[in-house]
Structure 1
Amino acid sequence: MPRPTVRRVPPSPAATPGWVSAAGAPGAGLPRPTPRFDPGPRYVQGTIEELGTPLAEVTFVVVDLETTGGSPRDSAITEIGAVKVRGGHVLGEFQTLVDPGREIPPYISVLTGITTMMVAAAPRIAAVLPSFLEFARGAVLVAHNAPFDLGFLKAACAESGIPWPAAASVDTAVLARRLLSRDEVPNCKLATLAPYFSAATSPCHRALDDARATVDVLHGLFERLGPLGITSLEELTGLTRRVDPERRRKRHLADDVPGGPGVYLFRGPKDEPLYVGTSNDLRSRVRSYFTAGEQRSRITEMVALAQRVEAIPCAHDLEAAVRELRLIAEHKPRYNRRSRFPERALWIRLTEEVFPRLSVVRRVRPGAGVFLGPFPDRRAADAAAAAIHESLPLRQCTSRLSLKVLGDACALAGMGRCGAPCTGAQSADEYGAIAAVLRAAVAADPEALLTPLLERVDRLAAEERFEDAAVLRDRTAVLVRAVRRRQRLESLAAVPQLVIARPDGAGGWHLSVVRRGRLVAAGGAPRVGSVRQTLAGLLATAETPLGPDGELAATVDETELVLRWMEKPGTRLVEVDGTLACPVPGTGSYSAFLDRVETSRREREPFADGRSLGTRARPERVSSGARGAGGAVPPRLASPA
């Protein structure tokens, strides 16, 4: 593809002085002299296909980093490796260790081979950045999972007071997802792509080696671009941002969507809800679904099916979030993943029997025992139940026991894990004292339940049984979170009526009326209006929850939304009917324990960012389009099948 935007056209024979036939065709008919003015060379504007910078003339700097963790907020760079290439040839390499100014965690040293001793004499990042930016000056930056590497570099520049240059970037992970299918590679990780493209260097979590492997992956992906007619930098960078024509044609669906907070519903051919979402700016959010910024495969499929968008304006973000939860639970749209089945939440129940036992149930029935939870899945519920059984010798058999019918002791009795009430070895009062520990833990004080567990964790660690200690620690953390969640829910369910106010940012107030954990009215009082007058109208029109007092009148997710809204800075409690208080002592003293568990989880998965690097089951394939007499047609994304 020629580079210049204009090209010189040589003069045609008809434009030069000479013999021209009467019919206008040179050399035909009776010749006669016809003088003509010579206009000289003509210039025409180049076509769209002729614009852009050829990839063979672009300088790329492929960069890779090693860090102490997965986020620039609490981690630092330990190594930078970069390779400069142009036209398939390596022009130079850059590599340096970096002193992160902190100890390198042992698990990072195992992963990368970089120890604290290795970086002790290395320069700090502020001294390294100028050299790296000079090496990369004028080049296009390339990285595998670019948001990670470029995010660390930008954060380091900001911390060092160095301006970040305005450079184009290419993400080989995104490019691979566009060009490869699941039949070719199971995922788009660098360790998978490098052998697929026969890279000369194997990625090994060292910066320069990984950058070299990424160079080979980049060139392998470029070979996929040639047959598609993509030969310029502009086409390459636009490949991952190009909007499917089918999606572009549906932009009119957002024309009537208003601004401000609210809920939006994408509806399908039969007017069925396909997807429910919420935003503080409805119009802007809905319009984003028809741009290149939305790349989720399931959302792409949803937009292809959508026929109209319904918008529900709300008073503020809490009302919008609550309405979203209720609509998802009611309609269960197939393209929503979260909160579709709140009725499937699991609870641990301490049964109401002479000798109570634990069972995992899906319904909370008042007066049917003590309920702990909810838990997101069976695995979490089983972990909490196992922690309870580790602390308390509750029976684990499933049959009902009475004071008259006696049986044989099970293996747990011989292990000291059960008092064997089935044999009469344990009275109902003795067994009831054990069950009372769990009831007290759920109601207010979990110390008697949790202390044996934490002591056993310390004992296992002292015996160097670290795996067993980690398993029990994680189970205990699940149990602590469940107790805390239950106590928080009950504290709000006990309040008959609560009025909350938050500043709206313009001198007014966002108002919410909550009854037994359920949002029953929402509104706003402008700066020039009367808060009390607005509140009186809200209270007069608020719904009345049904059901017994003291029980949650909403789903757990909705009540937790209200709790999080209450805990934001600046929230005011306008009116409280009843008592809003957490039980004492509660789980506050175990916050440090939960923080340590979360820190340990991040250390085990330091680079887990929640984004998928998998290929798509039905990828949007790139087609080169048709070629006609006028030349090449710009490539486009094929419409979804």
Structure 2
Amino acid sequence: MRGMTRLATPGAVHGAVQPSFEDLGTPLREVTFVVVDLETTGTRTTDSGITEIGAVKVRGGEVLGEFQSLVNPGREVPAFVARLTGITTAMVSTAPSIDLVLPSFLEWAHDCVLVAHNAPFDVGFLKAAAAGLGYPWPGFPVVDTVPLARRVVPKDEAPNHKLATLAHLFRARVTPEHRALADARATVDVLHGLLDRLGAMGVQHLEDLATAADPVPPDVRKKRHLADGLPEAPGVYLFKGPGDEVLYVGTSTNIRKRVRSYFTAAEKRRRITEMVRIAHEVTPVVCATPLEAAVRELRLITEHEPRYNRRSKHPERHTWVRLTDEPYPRLSVVRDVRPGAPHIGPFGSRRVAQDAVDALHDALPLRQCTLRLAAVSRTPGSPCALAGMGRCSAPCVAVVAPDDAYAAVAKTAAEVLTGDPSSVVQALAARIGRLAAEQRFEEAGVVTGRLRAYVQGAGRAQRLAPLAACAELVAARPTPAGGWELVVVRHARLAGTAVTRPDEDPLPVVDALRATAETVDAPVPPAPACHPEEAALVIDWLESPGVRLVHTSDPWALPVRSALAHADLAGVSGEVRAQVDSLQ
């Protein structure tokens, strides 16, 4: 068994992967650079050819070798190019052609990082030559010294960032003279000068160099060491600040790579940049599966309430709509779920829940007063304006016998909350159509928003209720490696997860996982025994392709005619929806 873990403890074993340069985190002193320069007959690859290739191989400040060759471009060398470089048509007429020189250079530069001053020019010609000869481009990592120079050499120190200017600034041992090898030698000294300056800014690894030209504040860039030693594995990471305060929780399929991105220009969120400035540690939690990572992230956010996370911190703020349990039921927006009464939700806010309530009131003549009414009142009440408008059957005036008409309305309300919502959808869709026909699109938009809130809330409850009521469900999904990803779900909460090897019998692992999974107390459905977002993550996983049910203690099914069938508001015509949505 590989990667078996309960949700209470971190840790997993992962298969080997082929790392890239970006993933390795190679110190710059261990990187072999090939600094290359070309001379050409022109500036465009489409109508120009290479006349000379010069390159220097260096590692750790030491020159390991040099490559230099004239190249017959197969065309005349223009006079102005000859004057600039000193390379004439006569000089290259007996030189080897590119089909002989390029393979030698590519083999010599194998497994190295290419460096050039204005790299798009030189590398562009090399790629074009490879393509013309039918060679696949090796995909060298490339470093361009021009943007690096712009990052660390201010204008008051150098008037421009040309190679000759930088060579003079860094006291290069060779003066650039528009010959390939000389210019490559000068670029080596420029590279080393730039690396010295970048090192003071925290650029110590190859992947640091890849983003060193980004406009990242120096104090943020210096925090890159926080990613050192982090695992290249899926899981959760916690940024911690003074006093070990958890500032931010995130998840990734590659913890180290994701954390490093926070110190580059790829991170553009101001609040996250502020967080990085005060962070002093990153704690990883390696997970067996992406599902476990997503659940752990959610739980840690709920537990620590990090100030820089914006979502999922307050599950207690989720609301439900309940049909109250009293002689004349009414709709109420509540925080908790109680047994014996239909509910829909959860809703992210009280406002959205109220929209769902308003949708039901638009379709059904439920009472909207908050008084608790007896089945038979001793004295007749005074019906409100809604009764006069036909939007309430006014049970408050019943003095002889219970109001059977209202009982029928309440029964319909219970049915549309827990089962088929078609009657509500059809009633509101007809109203939206009438408003749109009268070009009252803003009012139609309000009703559409209410209908959408109701349908989504009812769909969530109908989706959650069966799993929340299920004491235990075990499911499996094939892994790309040929094993199985196993989960134990109890009352919609992820209670355990494991990953098996391709050659391993999964059934004993299932038995062990069930025996060690978390004990979960039964909730009141449709509320799950966990954060509603965790339940949604679990359900999404269970409904994903390839999942197989191994064991279930209770039925797990949806109503045949459920609110989920109306999630796209199919009862509202597409034209009307387009008009309404344009105003929202």
Residues 1:417 and 2:397 aligned together: no
Residues 1:461 and 2:433 aligned together: no
Change (3 A) 1:388 1:338: same
Secondary structure in 2 matching 1:434 = helix
Segments of 4+ moved more than 6 angstroms: 225-235, 237-240, 595-608
Deviates more, 1:337-346 or 1:247-256: 247-256
| Residue matched to 2:5 | none
Residues 1:297 and 2:270 aligned together: yes
* One-letter code aligned to 2:343: F
User: For 1:576, which of 549, 552, 572 is the aligned residue?
Assistant: 552
* One-letter code aligned to 1:344: R
Instruction: Using structure 1 for the length normalisation, give the TM-score.
Output: 0.55
Change (3 A) 1:505 1:364: same
User: For 1:555, which of 526, 531, 540 is the aligned residue?
Assistant: 531
Change (3 A) 1:386 1:267: same
* One-letter code aligned to 1:252: H
Q: Matches of 1:339 and 1:420 in 2, distance apart? A: 41
Q: Matches of 2:304 and 2:573 in 1, distance apart? A: 37
| Residue matched to 2:463 | 488
Q: Matches of 1:554 and 1:334 in 2, distance apart? A: 22
Change (3 A) 1:382 1:421: same
Query: Quick check: 1:495–1:578 contact (8 Å CA) kept in 2?
Result: yes
Q: Matches of 1:273 and 1:397 in 2, distance apart? A: 45
Change (3 A) 1:295 1:352: same
Query: Quick check: 2:377–2:396 contact (8 Å CA) kept in 1?
Result: no
User: For 2:368, which of 396, 414, 419 is the aligned residue?
Assistant: 396
| Residue matched to 1:434 | 409
Residues 1:348 and 2:321 aligned together: yes
Superposition pairs of residues 26-175 of structure 1, within 5 angstroms: none
Secondary structure in 1 matching 2:327 = coil
Change (3 A) 1:594 1:295: farther
User: For 1:505, which of 480, 486, 489 is the aligned residue?
Assistant: 480
User: For 1:357, which of 330, 333, 341 is the aligned residue?
Assistant: 330
Query: Quick check: 2:291–2:541 contact (8 Å CA) kept in 1?
Result: yes
Change (3 A) 1:292 1:411: same
Q: Matches of 1:450 and 1:514 in 2, distance apart? A: 33
Aligned residues: 384
Q: CA deviation at 1:251?
A: 1.6
Deviates more, 1:318-327 or 1:575-584: 575-584
Q: Matches of 2:281 and 2:360 in 1, distance apart? A: 51
| Residue matched to 2:454 | 479
Alpha-carbon displacement from aligned partner over 1:11-60 (angstroms, at most 9, x marks no partner): xxxxxxxxxxxxxxxxxxxxxxxxxxxxxxxxxxxxxxxxxxxxxxxxxx
Superposition pairs of residues 197-346 of structure 1, within 5 angstroms: 241-346=214-319
Q: CA deviation at 1:366?
A: 2.6
Query: Quick check: 1:517–1:553 contact (8 Å CA) kept in 2?
Result: yes
Give me the identity figure in percent. 47
Query: Quick check: 1:263–1:314 contact (8 Å CA) kept in 2?
Result: yes
Q: Matches of 2:349 and 2:162 in 1, distance apart? A: 47
Deviates more, 1:505-514 or 1:540-549: 540-549
Residues 1:593 and 2:550 aligned together: no
Q: CA deviation at 1:423?
A: 2.1
Q: Matches of 1:359 and 1:597 in 2, distance apart? A: 30
* One-letter code aligned to 1:431: Y
Q: Matches of 2:576 and 2:215 in 1, distance apart? A: 41
Q: Matches of 1:233 and 1:597 in 2, distance apart? A: 63
User: For 1:522, which of 493, 497, 500 is the aligned residue?
Assistant: 497
Q: Matches of 1:329 and 1:251 in 2, distance apart? A: 27
Change (3 A) 1:599 1:263: farther
User: For 1:537, which of 483, 507, 512 is the aligned residue?
Assistant: 512
Change (3 A) 1:230 1:471: farther
Query: Quick check: 1:477–1:594 contact (8 Å CA) kept in 2?
Result: no
Instruction: Using structure 2 for the length normalisation, give the TM-score.
Output: 0.60
Query: Quick check: 1:499–1:513 contact (8 Å CA) kept in 2?
Result: yes
Q: Matches of 2:273 and 2:571 in 1, distance apart? A: 38
* One-letter code aligned to 1:280: T
* One-letter code aligned to 2:263: F
Compute the RMSD of aligned alpha carbons. Answer: 3.3
* One-letter code aligned to 2:471: P
* One-letter code aligned to 2:233: G
Q: CA deviation at 1:379?
A: 2.4
* One-letter code aligned to 1:301: E
| Residue matched to 1:372 | 344
Q: CA deviation at 1:295?
A: 1.7
Secondary structure in 1 matching 2:551 = strand
